[in-house]
Amino acid sequence: MEQRLLIISPVRNEADHLEVVARAMAGQTRPPDRWLLVDDHSADGTLELAERLAAEHPFIAVAQAPEFPLADPRDRLASAAAPRTFNAGLATVDLADYTHVAKFDGDMELPPDYLERILAAFDADPHLGMAGGLRTEFVRDRWRLETVPTEHHVNGALKTYSRECFVCIGGIQERLGWDTIDETRARMAGYRTRTFPDLVAIHHRPWASADGTLRGRARYGTAAYILRYPFYWVALRSLKIATARPEVVSGGAFLYGYLRAAARRAPRVEDPDFKRTVHRETRDRVLAKLRPAG
């Protein structure tokens, strides 16, 4: 079957970089069959810019998200605004018309061959269910490439799914931690999830900056609790995050988010198989790092 790619991008206040992102999308060696920009009540002219871009590029479509009640209006990411906006856009299309569906943030500028190479990876590996590239961000006056465990993690800003995998895992859940829930469930179902480190997109808004860096670190800690990561991993992770700017307090914010969620008994993923999978995979990754090289 001929590959057909649907990209859905939740966008909110992206006017500063959306035109650059759209130019990169239009310049793809293999453009998407449809790129749906779903505006989440932007206040900076993003919707009007998206509509102008749609008039210029036939593959672009625009939709508006409904008003969502937010658990915490100060923190839209913690309230799962992005997956809810994504699902609002998804409801306007027929997924059966596409072989692959992607969720890309509206501030990700792709290299020219990104989509062609991602689709080629799916074509080469029938067990690949989810794939993506890396982000580079301008931090501390220079470009920095993110580091992720490429053999299993796919960044939530750059996720592409096979339709079969997407349907199998029940799509994107509207909750904090959705972008780890989906890849864990994909592996539980026998799919591979992979990041390709030689595919690098420019991220025009640094990680966690939309609602404040420290709030983003605390949100990450809350997600770790929801996802049932063991405490030893949380402690080790907080030490690593403590080296990120702002130093020391970043790690403290992450640990605080985890402990606060535990104290409040935040709703966690209740599937016992999911918990076992997270604990097994976490243990295996930690042990692999502790093994001597060679």
| Cβ-based neighbours of 201, under 8 Å, separated by 6 or more | 108, 109, 110, 111, 114, 133, 134, 135, 136, 158
Burial 2-26 (b: 16+ CB within 10 A, else e): eeebbbbbbbbbbbebbeebbebbe
Mean pLDDT of 266-288: 95
Strand partners, 132: 195
Q: What is the C-alpha to C-alpha distance for residues 163 and 98, in angstroms, rounded to an integer?
A: 7
How high is the mean pLDDT of the chain?
Answer: 93
Q: What is the C-alpha to C-alpha distance for residues 131 and 160, in angstroms, rounded to an integer?
A: 5
CATH number of 5-203: 3.90.550.10
pTM given for the model: 0.92
pLDDT at 209: 46
Q: Is residue 208 scored above 80 in pLDDT? A: no
Lowest mean pLDDT among 8-12, 63-67, 136-140: 136-140
Contacts of residues 195-198 at CB distance under 8 Å and 24 or more positions apart, as own/partner, are: 195/131, 195/132, 195/133, 195/134, 195/148, 195/150, 195/153, 195/154, 195/155, 196/117, 196/118, 196/121, 196/131, 196/132, 196/133, 196/134, 196/150, 197/133, 197/134, 197/150
Mean pLDDT of 44-59: 97
For the chain, the domains span 5-203, 213-290
pLDDT at 139: 77
Distance from the first to the final alpha carbon of the chain = 43
pLDDT at 210: 44
In this predicted model, what pLDDT tens digit does every residue of 149-201 receive, in sequence order?
Answer: 888 899 999 999 999 999 999 999 999 999 999 999 999 999 999 999 999 99
Strand pairing report for 128-139 and 108-109: unpaired
pLDDT at 290: 86
